Amino acid sequence: MPRQAEPQPVRLVDYRPPDWLVDTVHLDVRLDPAQTRIRCRLGLRPNPAGRPDAPLILDGDELTLERLTLDGADLPAGAYDASPSRLTLHAPPRRPLSLEVETVVDPSANTKLMGLYRSSGTYCTQCEAEGFRRITYFPDRPDVLAVYTTRIEAEMEDAPVLLGNGNPVEAGPIPGTSRHYAVWHDPWPKPCYLFALVGGRLDRITEPFVTASGRTVELGIYVEAGKADRTAYAMDSLKRSMRWDEEAFGCEYDLDVFNIVAVADFNMGAMENKGLNVFNDKYVLASPETATDADYANIETIIAHEYFHNWTGNRITCRDWFQLCLKEGLTVFRDQEFSSDQRSRPVKRIADVRLLKSHQFPEDGGPLAHPVRPDTYREINNFYTATVYEKGAEVVRMLKTLLGPQGFRAGMDLYFERHDGDAATVEDFLACFADATGTDLTQFALWYAQAGTPEVKVDTSWDAERGIFELLVTQNVPPTPGQPVKKPMVIPLSVGLVGPDGADLPAVPEEGSAGAAAPGVLVLREPARRFAFHGMTARPVASLNRGFSAPVRLSSDLSANDLMFLARHDSDPFNRFDAAQTLALGHLVAATLAVRAGIKPSEPGSLIEAASSALADTSLDPAFVAQALAVPSESDISREIGRDVDPDAVHAARRSLRRALGAALAPVLVSTYERLAIPGPYSPDAASAGRRALKNTCLDLLAEAHAGDGIARAEALYRAADNMTDRFFALSILAHTAPVEREPALADFYERYRNDPLVIDKWLALQAQIAEPQTLERVRGLTAHPAFSMGNPNRVRSLIGSFATANLTQMHRPDGAGHAFVADTVLTLDRRNPQVAARMLAAFKSWRSLEPVRRASAEAALNRIAGQEGLSPDVSDIVTRSLAG
Ligand code: TRP
Ligand code: ZN
């Protein structure tokens, strides 16, 4: 087979408005397992802003054209060309046209899970980014907005539930047949990526919601038969999201119904189709017996995220896919704010920054680095990244920090008012904030254009005689692929000055040096700048980048004593947490290097002290203390080391710190564990979850140190637990720290939950994460287990994704067997589901920072993939970028 011709990359600078617009779409879909027939009538008209005499080109993907008529008449053979990927009308008359296209697709054979497919018998669709073209020929680009009417027909027996976008219009049996139909109409013009339909045997729960202006909306959640009793939390999250969006952003819902469908086979988390969100069932279904606290928190966030897209994404959509962050970064920011208001704001911020550092920072520092708004892509599916989502949210957060809450809200209000119904750009978005507040955001816009995590360095100086404290702040944005040289960015640094008694001193720098932002926020716009604070009676300790106000890598001359002091006294809870983490990370980096050099690491005395004082302070939120006790992850340590990383040494250093903490703190860990083990029915609320998190973190350290009967307590907790959070935490402790006790526990867990795929995912993921050489064989064995399937993305991510991304010692085995296994899986998976394969391949993103032996083996695995013929564009794009440079 010849090598695939490399498709040309798409470039932002080449954007042209569409030549033809679509006003209306009438779809008639006859669902059938293998031969679904789609009749699609388009009301087209030439775009006044398009090229005159342009042909009409519609996108397709693996389509076959069954019929084509223009204004009701057949077309002569020479008037058009149809291929699986394109339908061209060479010289259509330049006037409004009615084009009718008929295609047939096979939903059962659709293993890519893009377009129309079947998931456990349910017909469903996924059209973002470019899946609609797998259903019918269409100008598949987000700036073509149309009003859709969808008629769906199916066997009554097969699909008693038929759902579409918008509002239900009519439904009924088809007389004389075993079939029935439903018609849906969506009055809001939308791009085709927001199209969806569903047909299946589904159970549902419904509840009414009355909007701020008094309209009643019927909310529905549809799930596989027998699972409706696990939807209560999702429904509750939805209602709270709807109310919150009215209160926080003035956004009200705009249809008579809002439906959510949970499916078992889904490439990502969920999808915001207008009025018909489709979810990975992992983010809908929850009961105390099957879902952990983390699952509940994810459900709340993702339900909110998809709902919030109704305004940021759907009412205002993206002009082109380069603008993806316009909807995703903004909507992540909105869901973060929602969860902060529903739960503990500081704890949510800590969790979000942890995610940013663990996922986005490595991306930004490796071969796959790209700007929040990329300017070129070969496969858009590969740009649903931590950079676009998480860093995109940080950029919106900085805007709020710089403009203040009122300025930010004024900008958002203007955005909704000015761009409702538009396919907008990042420039449109920024112009709203500039216009609403009279701020020049030209330099700020670099956050969208320049990749790489800025490095900010702070040097402090103290003039005791004159009472002047000074910060010298410098910035450097490192080179990234395609961007060797960077300009200085606007960096809002929230700064506190903490006095010797632990109280904040006024942090107002000498006149004129603060910039426009709120009090306490220093704005760095230059490569370097001094900020001087006068009239200080004693040397303060600088608390820098409070609340992580800027997504940067910060280094400073703060001493270990300063950090200890901040860990105890900082009024900013994020920085109290961060000071302790910085101390721990410093220790772990030194310990890792010591392990590699065969030297005994130094004693973690001050870390034990910091942990002990956090445990002793019962006025603190337990969820916060749990975060403070969490030892930085192996990937945090590896990132901090940066080059020549030996994952075994990292693992050993981390383990020895955890043992030391567990051993030294055993009495207080035991008493905290016992104090928080309050009996009573499970409740998923944040306070209860926080108590469980702290209690289980204590148990984890005890078990690691084999102190305080940790292992026996974990076994007891495993047996006695009445909820999945405790039971699974106990199982994890046993799996990681008790090689003998874990096997019967793993076997018991499987027997208990063998009929519950989402719980079995936890079982698969846990086994894949055990840091011992036998794990690779175990994982290989589990790929043949009846519970595993290469066709289900959740199973694949749980087993193989966990191994590749959450088991650094085994993924990066020095003999290369981990790399080879993941590479083999990527190649196998690529033939079935390229999107999921490409995401798994991204696990190699930090390969260059490994020590030489492992680096060579990673490179060999990547080269082997690159040398394969017939790679998907998805995998080919990731492997090419991973190896470049
Ligand atoms: N827009 C979806 C979200 O943020 C993301 C998404 C869901 C997606 N399914 C997809 C993106 C498939 C690409 C392909 O919430
Ligand atoms: Zn989204």
Tell me, what DSSP letter sits at residue 850? B
Residue 3: per-residue pLDDT: 45
- Cβ neighbours of 685 (radius 10 Å): 11
Rounded to whole angstroms, the Cα distance separating 850 from 412 reads: 44
Which residue has a Cα nearest atom 11 of ligand 1?
128
SS3 (DSSP) at 140: coil
Q: Which of 266, 279, 384, 835 to mutate to test the pocket of ligand 1 (most atoms within 8 A of CB)?
A: 384
Which pair of structure tokens corresponds to residue 128? 């973002």
Between strands 423-424 and 455-463, the pairing is: unpaired
Q: E strands within 211-293?
A: 216-224, 257-263, 270-271, 276-280
Distance CA 729, CA 737 (A): 12
**Are 388 and 328 contacting, i.e. CB atoms less than 8 angstroms apart?**
yes
The span from the CA of 748 to the CA of 460, in Å, is 57
Residue partners of 597: CB distance under 8 A and separation at least 6: none
Strands 468-476 and 455-463: antiparallel
Rounded to 5°, the CA angle 352-355-356 comes to: 85
Give pTM, 2 decimals. 0.98
Q: How far is the CA of 792 from the centre of ligand 2 (A)?
A: 21
**pLDDT value for 841:** 98
Give a three-class secondary structure readout of 597-666: HCCCCCCCHHHHHHHHHHHHCCCCCHHHHHHHHCCCCHHHHHHHHCCCECHHHHHHHHHHHHHHHHHHCH
Largest CA distance in the chain: 97
For helices 573-597 and 605-616, the axis angle rounded to 10 degrees is 150
Distance CA 293, CA 280 (A): 18
The residue to mutate among 133, 268, 325, having the most atoms of ligand 1 within 8 angstroms of its beta carbon, is 268
d(CA 545, CA 105): 54
Assess contact for 245 and 219: CB atoms under 8 A.
no
- pLDDT score for 516: 47
Ligand nearest to C-alpha 131: 1
CA of 315 to the centre of ligand 2 (A): 14
Tell me how far the alpha carbon of residue 308 lies from the centroid of ligand 2, in angstroms.
Answer: 9
Residue 56 tokens, joined: 């009409």
How far is the CA of 125 from the CAs of 194, 206, 294, 520, 835, in angstroms? Answer: 10, 22, 28, 49, 15
Instruction: Note whether 392 and 430 are within 8 A (CB).
Output: no
- Which ligand is closest to the CA of 270, given by its number? 1
Residue 622 C-alpha to ligand 1 middle, in angstroms?
A: 34
Rounded Cα gap, residues 282 and 296, in angstroms: 10
Element (H, E) at 147: strand 146-155
E strand or H helix that includes residue 673: helix 666-676
Residue 542 Cα, ligand 1 centroid: separation in angstroms?
41
What pLDDT is recorded for position 523? Answer: 95
Q: Which ligand is nearest to the CA of 129?
A: 1
CA of 269 to the centre of ligand 1 (A): 7
Nearest ligand (C-alpha, residue 194): 1
- Nearest protein CA to atom 3 of ligand 1, as residue: 271
Question: How many C-beta neighbours within 10 Å does residue 610 have?
Answer: 22
Among 61, 112, 124, 128, say which to mutate for ligand 1: greatest number of ligand atoms within 8 Å of CB. Answer: 128
Q: Which two tokens stand for residue 515?
A: 């910039």
DSSP 76: P
DSSP state of 645: B
Which protein residues touch ligand 1 with a CB less than 6 Å away?
126, 128-129, 267-272, 305-306, 328, 381, 384
Please report the atom of ligand 1 found closest to the CA of residue 270: 7
* DSSP code, position 133: G
Which of the following is catalytic: 128, 306, 337, 363? 306
DSSP letter at 480 equals: B
CA distance 525 to 522: 10
Sort 390 into a burial class: Cβ within 10 Å, 0-12 / 13-18 / 19+: buried
pLDDT at 512: 52
In this structure, what are the phi and psi dihedrals at residue 116, rounded to the nearest 5 degrees?
A: -95, 125
How many CB atoms within 10 Å of residue 74? Answer: 10
Q: Following DSSP, what letter does each residue of 442-478 receive, concatenated?
A: TTTTHHHH--SPPEEEEEEEEETTTTEEEEEEEEE--
Residue 7 backbone zone (phi > 0: left; psi -120 to 50: alpha; other: beta) = beta
Pocket mutation for ligand 1, best pick of 192, 271, 311, 381 (most atoms within 8 Å of C-beta): 271
779 CA distance to ligand 1 middle (Å) = 28
Q: How many CB atoms lie within 10 A of CB 13?
A: 7
Pocket test for ligand 1, best of 61, 126, 193 (most atoms within 8 A of CB): 126
**What is the token pair recorded at 427?**
């420039």
Amino acid in position 446: L
Gap between the Cα atoms of 71 and 77, Å rounded? 16
Q: Which atom of ligand 1 is nearest to the CA of 328?
A: 4
Q: Which of 30, 298, 7 is nearest to 162 (CA)?
A: 30
Containing 36, the helix (H) or strand (E) segment is strand 36-46
CA of 55 to the centre of ligand 1 (A): 31
Cα 262 from Cα 124, distance rounded (Å): 10
- Tokens coding 750: 């499987």
What is the whole-number distance in angstroms between the Cα of residue 530 and the centre of ligand 1?
44
| Residue at 860: amino acid letter | A
Query: Whose atoms come closest to the Cα of 333: which ligand?
Result: 2
Q: How many Å lie between the centroid of ligand 1 and the Cα of residue 462?
A: 51
- Report yes or no: 65 and 101 within 8 Å, Cβ to Cβ: yes
Separation of 324 CA from ligand 2 center, angstroms?
9
Calculate helix-pair angle for 739-753, 710-720, nearest 10 degrees: 10
**Residue 156 tokens, joined:** 């009554």
Closest CA to 251 of 324, 334, 336, 194: 334
Q: How many helices (H) and strands (E) does the chain have?
A: 29, 33
Q: Is 247 assigned a catalytic role?
A: no
Question: Which of the ligands is closest to the CA of residue 268?
Answer: 1
Q: Mean pLDDT by 10-residue block, N- to C-terminus, for the chain (885 residues)? A: 66 98 99 98 98 96 98 97 98 97 98 98 98 98 99 98 98 98 99 99 98 98 98 98 98 99 98 99 98 98 99 99 99 98 98 98 98 98 98 99 97 99 99 98 98 98 96 98 98 96 88 60 96 94 98 98 96 97 98 95 94 95 97 97 98 98 98 92 97 98 98 98 98 97 98 98 99 98 98 98 98 98 98 98 97 98 98 98 93
DSSP state string for 795-833: HHIIIIIHHHHH-HHHHT-TTSHHHHHHHHHHHHHHTT-
Compute, in angstroms, the gap from residue 335 CA to the centroid of ligand 2: 10
